[in-house]
Amino acid sequence: MSDQPDAIQFQLTEALWEDMQALEGQPIASLVVWDSSLVDDSLESPVADEARVYVDCELYLANQTLLELYGVAVAHEDAEEPLVGLAAINQALEQLADDGAFLLEIASDQDDGLVLTIGNQAGQNILLAVTAWLESTWDTLPEETYT
């Protein structure tokens, strides 16, 4: 596993954390949520939208950084459990984005997994617990977004 950009990452090493800290405070220019996840490939049966916990998404940051996030569980900052259902996940992220979302904090969980806190001007925060991610750059914003 490499600490180089464009390499898929599964753990937030100290070197990656130091590099990614520069992204804290960046406005989110666009956010795309997919209706499936790479995590689905490891499941025995398909996941219904109403039961979905994990999604894949793309965060297009204003500084032209693209974070492709895989196997993301979305939770309100004060919640103990992640949101369930694609509609609930989309609604929470859309509400956040409507009020000017930005990348508030980059942290790790007890297993050194990536955890992003996304906030907005209204003081609402959402946690994204990420299974794997890829960092690259973007030239144009996507035309279709889910939030």
| SS3 category, 12 | coil
What integer pLDDT is reported at residue 144 of this predicted model?
61
Question: Cβ contacts of residue 44 below 8 Å, gap of 6+?
Answer: none
Q: What is the pLDDT of residue 145?
A: 53
DSSP letter at 21? Answer: G
Q: Is pLDDT above 90 for 96?
A: no
50-74, pLDDT tens digit by residue? 999 999 999 999 999 999 999 999 9
> According to the model, what pLDDT value does residue 78 have?
86
For the record, the structure tokens of 18 come out as 């130091």
Report the alpha-carbon distance of residue 142 to residue 106 in Å, rounded.
24
**Chain centroid, CA 132 distance in Å:** 10
pTM (predicted TM-score):
0.89
Grade residue 2 by pLDDT with cuts at 50, 70 and 90: very low
